[in-house]
């Protein structure tokens, strides 16, 4: 189970590249690493709603392939939040790297 913060970083990062709708977003995220990260509708749409309610995303309707779809775009507040979360994760990853390096030095893998 991935943390909400982790999923938020993934979702916001993908949307920061290009505005996208839910199904397209789900496909793109699942292509990143299907073994590690399976993102179903039951997880994706509540997270999108939460991010929109927090002001990190905005949405609009657009016609795509003859169908009206709800597109999401990252807001200025969302970009700042994403940048902050990425910095936090980088710090966490550095600490984990230091700790696991010594673990591996003792022959554990």
pLDDT of residue 1: 42
Q: What are the extents of the domains in the chain?
A: 4-105
Tell if the pTM clears 0.75, that is, is over it.
yes
| CATH of region 4-105 | 1.10.10.10
Please give the full DSSP string across 35-56, using - where no structure is assigned. TT----HHHHHHHHHHHHHTTS
Three-state SS at 80:
helix
pLDDT of residue 2: 58
Q: If DSSP states are collapsed to H, E and C, what string results for 84-109?
A: HHHHHHHHHHHHHHHHHHHHHHCCCC
Tens of each residue's pLDDT in the chain, 109 residues = 457 788 899 999 999 999 999 999 998 988 887 666 677 788 899 999 999 999 999 999 999 889 999 999 999 999 999 999 999 888 877 788 877 777 666 666 6
> Long-range pairs for 84-91 at CB < 8 Å and ≥24 separation?
85/5, 85/8, 85/9, 85/12, 86/9, 89/9
């Amino acid at each position: 189970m991935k943390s909400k913060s982790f999923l938020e970083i993934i979702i916001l990062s993908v949307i920061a590249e290009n505005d996208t709708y839910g199904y397209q977003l789900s496909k793109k995220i699942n292509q990143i690493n299907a073994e590690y990260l399976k993102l179903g509708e039951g997880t994706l749409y509540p997270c999108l709603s939460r991010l929109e309610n927090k002001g990190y995303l905005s949405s609009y309707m657009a016609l795509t392939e003859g169908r009206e779809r709800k597109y999401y775009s990252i807001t200025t507040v969302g970009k700042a939040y994403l940048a902050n979360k990425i910095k936090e994760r980088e710090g966490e990853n550095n600490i984990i790297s230091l700790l696991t390096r010594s673990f591996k030095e003792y022959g554990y893998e």
